[in-house]
Chains A and B, each alone.
Chain A
Amino acid sequence: MWAAYLLSFAMGFISLSQEILWVRYFGFANQSLPQAFAFVLAVYLVGIALGARVGKWVCGTYKNLWEISGYVLLAASFYDLFSPWIYAHSIYLSSQIAIAGVLILLTAAFKAIIFPIAHHLGAPAIAGRVGRSVSRVYVANIIGATLGPFITGMILLDVLSTQNCFFVFAISTLLVALFCLYEKLLIIEKVFISILVVILSGFVLIQQPQALMQRVAAGSGIKYMVENRHGIVTVYNQQEGGDVVFGGNVYDGRTNLDPIVNTNGINRVLVLSVLQDKPKHVLLIGLSIGTWLKLLTSFPGIEQIDVVEINPGYLEAMRHYPAQYSALSDPRVHLYIDDGRRWLRNHRDQQYDLIVMNTTWHWRAYATSLLSREFLVLAKQHLNAGGVMAYNSTDSLSVLKTAAAVFEHAYPYENFVVAADFDWRPRLRTEAAVNKLMSLRLDGKPLFPVGSEAFARYYLNESTILDPGIQRLFNLAGREGGIITDRNLLTEYKLGRRLIQ
């Protein structure tokens, strides 16, 4: 009886843990699209359903259910070892989504075959107690299914790479198979399988722990990859213009700090220094590799910069870039590892002159959290009179429209939205603005070298930046824009990118 409860628990634990791993792996390979979760969930459930159907047939056909469970799980453990690698090698095929679907479905199906078997073994047909017997085995499965994602998501993924977690659960499945076959196997067979486990473990341990994720990463020339339970940060080596940073396998920024080289559009941050006389209190939501934070420290008159970052993995990546990393030692900088929206809600007394967000792509999962009208209303409550909010529209007309619905003046600057309750545009046109940009100093050195005034003027030139910017937004949007709300998730679904075209 207890062995059946344990079997039911183990299947729930392993199965749901593997689902978490596939959501992470498939989501990363497909640029964190919001549909990735629904896709894995739906396919996983089909796999569970089909597995349960096979399990039902097994229950009505075979007598020795422990033995058959052992063989099924033995096959499953080998399948679990190789299936993530099969997907990694098919990532550039046009059918990669379909291949992932089949691989995920089979992962779930193997474990689900055991589900009715465990009930059959653990729920004796005693008249008047069938409901309770069934529910106990079911509850064991649910406890496993609750603990699995919890332990995998909160602990394992913080200490092991995704690749190694896949391995851990393949070996766990093998151990459960041995548990089922314990009485059936000869000693020589147990020794053979033990040696096999040791060899497989050794094979995995000599592998680079991020090899699997690097194989499905968007680019080549990976310099660093930081994996933790919060996400995956990838830094790509570039010969010129600063290294490129990806978060969740989509472009996040670059390490360039030179406004003349400007491969990363840092003028979008620098021009914010001329919109107010002297912004004292600044909030930066999204640290990334720290380039923008470093640039914000160059603004004259800044007394305090609060930075909220959801993924501490960026701090590890930043260590390789001393210029950016040094910004964290600036006494004016206060770093908080938290969800940006929750942090604002929990710090109602904090007021700012400038709020800057290095927002991610509008079509990514959960982007609504920082782009919706409800969020902008919350952020606006944290702005002082004359305050400015600036963030990346990532070329979404809806992002601009939503800002215009909350602020009196919201206009694009390149692909940024700069929003305030005053018309900030005339402030770019003044000679004082040019002088202010030219006076910016980073670590004691001028950001704009002597003789580079033309660049500063170019960044402030309304006719070349603002009007084409508006035009570009309308052209690129290509579809009707609307106001993003917490309820409609507009840019993630209706006007977002699609996983399956």
Chain B
Amino acid sequence: MFSASKRMKFFVSPVNLGASSARVILSFLFFFSGCAALIYQVIWQRMLFTIFGVDLESVTIIVSVFMFGLGVGALIGGVLADRFTTRLLSLYIGIELGVAIFGFLSPEIITTMGAALASSSEFVTALACFFILAIPTILMGATFPILVTHVYAVDKNIGRSVGGLYFFNTLGGALGAYFAGFVLLYSMDLYGAVARAADINLVIALVALLIFRGRK
């Protein structure tokens, strides 16, 4: 067993990893980021259908708002990645924490918004939906260019950096979509499912903090 001082040292010291090991761990973390993102997408869409209605217009508005947030996030992430080249992993950890916090609060936020907009026009509802979803989707969209910039610093090939990270993130997304539709909703309600996704983001942030503390 660790003594108290050793335990303390274990938690605050950066883990000594080679570049390839760090990249593998980062890929796995990004895999789970994708997993959480798709759980959010499936569950938030489902919550918003209750507010919007389930006709095609509503579905299209929700999907478009989600994608728009990811796009804006990617642009912001690109600028941040070039400006804070020495703090890319800290940015990633901060973003994951931000998504986790929003994830935990999201059911209450969406429910409150639904009650407040009960008889508002579709335009007002769409606008409110955009501002609510903008926070987490911009955060999620920003992670991609940030991590690509980090990996590129070692790999020096953009195609390979993009392809590798995108592979893990999308594969994680597939697992998230599967879990949301085939596992989570059979054993818990929408609130429970979204809390599990937030748990994933929280664990990612903590693991990254533990492993990459002190790294660029």
A-to-B contact residues, CB < 8 Å: 34-35, 37-39, 41-46, 48-50, 52-53, 55-60, 65, 112, 115-117, 119-120, 123, 125, 128-136, 138-139, 142-143, 145-146, 149-150, 153-154, 229-230, 310, 338-339, 341-342, 345-346, 348, 366, 369, 374, 485-489, 492-494, 500
Contact = CB atoms under 8 A, between A and B. Distances in A.
A60 B157 contact: yes
Interface residues of B, number: 66
Contacts of A117: 159
Contact of B160 (A39, A42, A60): A60
Contacts of A153: 56, 59-60
18 contacts: A34-B181, A35-B182, A37-B42, A39-B181, A44-B174, A46-B171, A49-B167, A49-B171, A116-B166, A132-B82, A134-B78, A135-B78, A142-B68, A146-B68, A146-B71, A339-B53, A339-B55, A348-B119
A468 to B, nearest CB: 32
Contacts of B74: 135, 138-139, 142
A38 B46 CA distance: 12
Interface of B: 38, 42, 46, 49-50, 52-60, 63-64, 67-68, 70-71, 74-75, 77-82, 85, 118-119, 141, 144-146, 148-149, 152, 156-160, 162-164, 166-171, 173-175, 177-178, 180-182, 185-187, 189-191
B71 A45 contact: no
Nearest to B45: A37
Contacts of B54: 310, 339, 366, 369
A45 B173 CA distance: 7
Contact of A37 (B67, B70, B181): B181
Contact of B156 (A125, A138, A150): A125
Q: Is the interface of A mostly helix, strand, loop or mixed?
A: helix
Contacts of B166: 48-49, 52, 112, 115-116
B4 to A, nearest CB: 42
A301 B148 CA distance: 70
A129 B82 contact: yes
Contact of A128 (B85, B118, B182): B85
Nearest to B57: A154
Interface centre among B38, B74, B156 (most CB of A within 10 A): B74
A145 B58 CA distance: 17
Contacts of A120: 157-159, 162
Given A56-B167, A131-B79, A142 B67 contact: yes
B118 A345 contact: yes
The 4 closest A-B pairs by CB, nearest first: A38-B181, A56-B163, A59-B159, A135-B78
Contacts of A142: 67-68, 70-71, 74, 141
Contacts of A53: 163-164, 167
A130 B155 CA distance: 12
Q: Is the interface of B mostly helix, strand, loop or mixed?
A: helix
Contacts of A369: 49-50, 53-54
A229 B59 CA distance: 12
Nearest to B164: A56
Given A37-B181, A492-B185, 11 more contacts: A39-B182, A49-B173, A53-B167, A125-B152, A134-B158, A136-B75, A138-B74, A138-B78, A138-B144, A146-B64, A488-B189
Interface centre among B46, B85, B163, B186 (most CB of A within 10 A): B163
A46 B174 contact: yes
A138 B170 contact: no
Contacts of A37: 42, 181
B152 A42 contact: no
Contacts of B42: 37-38, 41
Contacts of A338: 53, 55
Interface centre among B81, B145, B173, B191 (most CB of A within 10 A): B145
Contacts of B180: 38
Nearest to B70: A142
A124 to B, nearest CB: 8
A139 B70 CA distance: 8
A127 B22 CA distance: 22
B148 A116 contact: no
Contacts of B68: 142, 146
Nearest to A153: B60
Given A138-B74, A341-B53, A59 B157 contact: yes
Nearest to A486: B50
A253 to B, nearest CB: 20
Contacts of A59: 157-160, 163
Nearest to B121: A346
Nearest to B88: A131
A122 B104 CA distance: 37
A372 B71 CA distance: 35
A481 B57 CA distance: 33
A130 B163 contact: no
B159 A52 contact: no
Contacts of A112: 166, 170
